[in-house]
Every structure is written in C-alpha cells, then in structure tokens.
Amino acid sequence: MTRAIVLVLDSFGIGATPDAADFGDTGADTLGHIAAACARGECDDRGRSGPLRLPNLARLGLLHAHRESTGGWAEGVAVPADVEGAYGYAREVSSGKDTPSGHWEIAGVPVRFAWGYFLEKEASFPAELIEGLVREAGLPGVLGDCHASGTEIIARLGEEHVASGKPIVYTSADSVFQVAAHEEGFGLERLYRVCEIARELLEPYNIGRVIARPFTGESAATFARTANRRDYSVDPPAPTVLQKLHEAGGEVVAIGKIADIYAHCGISRTVKASGHDALFDATLEALTQAGPRSLIMTNFVDFDMVHGHRRDVAGYAAALEHFDGRLPELLARLGDEDLLILTADHGCDPTWSGTDHTREHVPVLALGAGLAAGSLGGRETFADIGQSLAALFDLPPMADGESFLAPSTPLTGTASSGGH
Ligand SMILES: O=P(O)(O)O[C@H]1O[C@H](CO)[C@@H](O)[C@H]1O
Ligand SMILES: [Mn+2]
Ligand SMILES: [Mn+2]
C-alpha cells in the first residue's frame, strides 16, 4: 500500500524568496502578514477574532518552517511544544510565480523558459489577436482589453457586457488571457467555445492559460462568479511525476482544479468540487477509495481566488483556521505507509499592493512514510516534492529535485519487494 496525498493550499506562501526583488515582492509574507494583522486585532470579522489559530498545521511544523524561511515566528500564533511532522520551506526555480509553474514544479518539472505576458495595463492585447477572436468566435466585439481584478471588472463592465453581448477580456501579471461572460445571457458553453478559440489563437504568444470566468446576477451590485470557471492550460514541458506514476500503472486522482492545471496529463480520475469543505470532503472520500498505488492531489483554490487576490486578510485568516480545523479528519484516516504533503504553489500576500501573486517560499510539510519529525531545511526547488514522490512510488528519478525521503524508510523496502 503506497499512497500519497498532496494538498496544495493555493497561494499560501511563507516568506519572500531570495529572488523576490525581481518580482517587486521583497518582504512579502502571506502567513506572516496575516498572523500579524490578526495579532493586531484587524481580523475580527465574519465570526473570527483574535490571534491566528492554526494548531494542527503548527503540529505539522508550519510555524517552524515559516521561522526558518523568514527568521522570525509568525506573530501571535501558538507554537506547539512538539512538532510531529517533517517540515521545510522551498524556493521556486521556475521563471514565473503563476499557478501552473508552481504546480508543475511541485510535480518535478520546473518551467525554465519565459512565458509570454501581456504587459500593457490598457489595450493589453495585440489588435490581430482580438480581431481574430471576434471573427472566429462570431462576436460583436470585446470589452476590457486591460489588466484587471476579475471581480472589479465584472462590476465595472458586466452591465455593458449583458447589453452588448461583448465578452470581457482581461489579463494580469500572470501569463493569462481571461474571458468573463454572463452564464445565462451569453451562455456557458458559448463562453467555453470562445476560450477554446482563444487558446488556439494564442499559440504564437506563449501564454500559459486561458481562463473562462462565468458569472451570474442581475446588476453590478449582484454579479458573482460561479464555480464553472474553466482553465485551458498548455501541457507541462516534460512528463510530471503524475504522468510517470499514471504510465507506470498507478492511480492519480485530481481534485478541484488539479486536472485543468496539469492540462489533463497523467490524470486517472478527476473529481470536481467547489469550496474548501467540498474539496476536503472529496479528498477524504478519495482516500477511502484509493488503491494500493495512488496519488491524490487537491488544490484549495479559495485561499488565492477568494481571499489572496481580493486582498481579504480576515477572510484568508478564517479560511486557514477552517482548513486547519478539518485536518484531524484527514490525519485520522492516514495509514502508516501513507505520505501526506501540504504545500503551496506561490504566495498571494493579502496585505500586499496590487492584486497579483507574490514570489514566496512555500511550506513543505510531510507526514508519514517513515519520515522522522523535524526540519527538512530550505529546499532549492519545489521539485523536491516531485522527486520524493518518484522515490515513494519507486519510479525512475525525475530530472529535477532531491528526495527528502530517506533511502532506508520502510516504504523503499515495500517498493523493492515488488509488492506493486
Ligand atoms: O482577478 P482574477 O480574475 O481572480 O484573476 C486572478 O486569477 C488568475 C489565475 O489564477 C490570476 O492570473 C489572477 O489574475
Ligand atoms: Mn495558484
Ligand atoms: Mn491566483
């Protein structure tokens, strides 16, 4: 029985990386700044109050990992006497601080090439791209064509979109082309079709993702994005550990956005769920069903999408506390040979300027598979996770990363005994 559960807390950074200055992110610290705001009483909102409480993540070593990353304890958060997990922090070698780069690097494949970006804040897209999209998708035109926050732009242009039938196109500091349209007025399937056409037209521009952003509501005051978001990613540049495991006969269960992020490469089964409770429930259910050689990977997107990008500090704190509160349910279901890894794909410091991601270390919290409790230190790349998974599943080593699983763990013995 060799099973791994990888939970990606989307955007949960634990302190700026050495190269953060290249991204304008010197001093960013998603966990540290949320903790400090809570300690100052600034997050007494929506049913939560006081210092940040993360007892279960702390037992796994989160606070120790954050201290190793930043040099200081997260303010006001209770530090446990004993840490039960192996903990560390990892820096990113990929060129970007976007979601696909982070996830692919976690799976052992860093993105060393430079993505294309739309850098202009206004009139962001080349005229021939928009002309092609209007022509091929039969559109009356487009709105937006700028850098924007997705919630702000539907409040600003949503009514004009509904009246005109022109979809809203926008981008950000990430390598993305996003299309927002009303789910009923414009039509969900039509929006997906527009995105598929855009995906093809964007081929020369080296853009990582096209994202469909459907919304509902009657007016600017009530427009709200729905769970029918869909991401159209390019394929990872090389086979990830998900693909290696899948091809070797293992089962890869992708929960939430995971399948979209990996462009459906190396996925055995996709489980869609919306909201952290549903994602957590789906993860528990998948673990109950998981066969002897399986990887369950879940992306908890709301940390990023609902709180990080929205610069909603109290909401981020509450979401972390809620996630932490559910962790014991998962820990209780883990077998001795199971490996649990908690990590993140980039930062999105909700106290930072703008609305974009922040270049940060991510936590690497690991439990099980014979790992001793204690520090894994600073890891040179997120790919150490992918390399560890390759070792766990007795796959050929990945080109990048160093495994943190000791060669003498019981699992290596299981693997070499030919049990699978
Ligand atoms: O502001 P919204 O639409 O949430 O967009 C954000 O989500 C995108 C993909 O994660 C990022 O590139 C960022 O721009
Ligand atoms: Mn992300
Ligand atoms: Mn994001």
pLDDT for residue 1: 81
Q: Ligand 3 centre from 97 Cα, in Å?
A: 9
pLDDT single digits (tens) 57-93: 999 999 999 999 999 999 999 999 999 999 999 999 9
Long-range contacts from 150-158, C-beta under 8 angstroms, 24+ separation: 150/178, 150/180, 150/213, 150/225, 150/309, 151/225, 151/310, 153/180, 154/180, 154/213, 154/215, 154/223, 154/225, 155/220, 155/221, 155/223, 156/220, 158/182, 158/215, 158/217, 158/219, 158/220, 158/223
Q: Ligand 3 centre from 216 Cα, in Å?
A: 21
pLDDT single digits (tens) 98-151: 999 999 999 999 999 999 999 999 999 999 999 999 999 999 999 999 999 999
DSSP 366: E
pLDDT for residue 412: 42
pLDDT for residue 419: 32
Q: pLDDT confidence of 415, banded at 50, 70, 90? A: very low
With vertex at residue 295, the alpha carbon angle to CA 287 and CA 261, rounded to the nearest 5 degrees, is 110
Are 268 and 251 a contacting pair, CB within 8 Å? yes
Whether 418 shows a pLDDT value over 90: the answer reads no
pLDDT single digits (tens) 47-59: 999 999 999 999 9
Query: Residues within 5 Å of ion ligand 2 by Cβ?
Result: 10, 99, 304, 345
Where is the binding site, in residues?
10, 304, 309, 345-346, 357
How far is Cα 30 from Cα 135, in angstroms, rounded to an integer? 42
Tell me if residue 119 falls in helix, strand or coil.
Answer: coil
Q: Report the residue among 97, 309, 312 best suited for mutation to probe ligand 1: largest number of ligand atoms under 8 A from its CB.
A: 309
pLDDT for residue 407: 61
Whether 354 shows a pLDDT value over 70: the answer reads yes
- Which residue, by CA, sits nearest to atom 2 of ligand 1? 150
Tell me if residue 192 falls in helix, strand or coil.
Answer: helix
pLDDT for residue 336: 87
Kindly identify the ligand whose nearest atom is closest to the C-alpha of 105: 2
Place of tokens 């106290």: 351
Whether 359 shows a pLDDT value over 60: the answer reads yes
Q: Ligand 3 centre from 417 Cα, in Å?
A: 42
Q: What is the mean pLDDT of residues 370-378?
A: 97
Identify the bridge partners of residue 155 per DSSP, sorted by sequence position: none
Whether 420 shows a pLDDT value over 70: the answer reads no
Please state which of the ranges 168-177, 246-255, 329-338, 410-419 shows the lowest mean pLDDT: 410-419
Residues in the chain, total: 420
- pTM for this entry: 0.94
pLDDT single digits (tens) 258-290: 999 999 999 999 999 999 999 999 999 999 999
- Which residue, by CA, sits nearest to atom 7 of ligand 1? 305
What are the tokens at 395? 């796959």
Whether 414 shows a pLDDT value over 90: the answer reads no
Q: Report the residue among 101, 153, 157, 176 best suited for mutation to probe ligand 1: largest number of ligand atoms under 8 A from its CB.
A: 176
Whether 312 shows a pLDDT value over 80: the answer reads yes
Q: What is the mean pLDDT of residues 279-304?
A: 97
Whether 417 shows a pLDDT value over 60: the answer reads no
Where is the binding site for Mn(2+), in residues?
10, 304, 309, 345-346, 357
pLDDT for residue 413: 39
Residues lining ligand 1, CB < 6 A? 99, 149-150, 172, 174, 176, 178, 211, 213, 305, 309, 355
Mean pLDDT of the chain: 95
Q: What is the mean pLDDT of residues 235-242?
A: 98
pLDDT for residue 410: 45
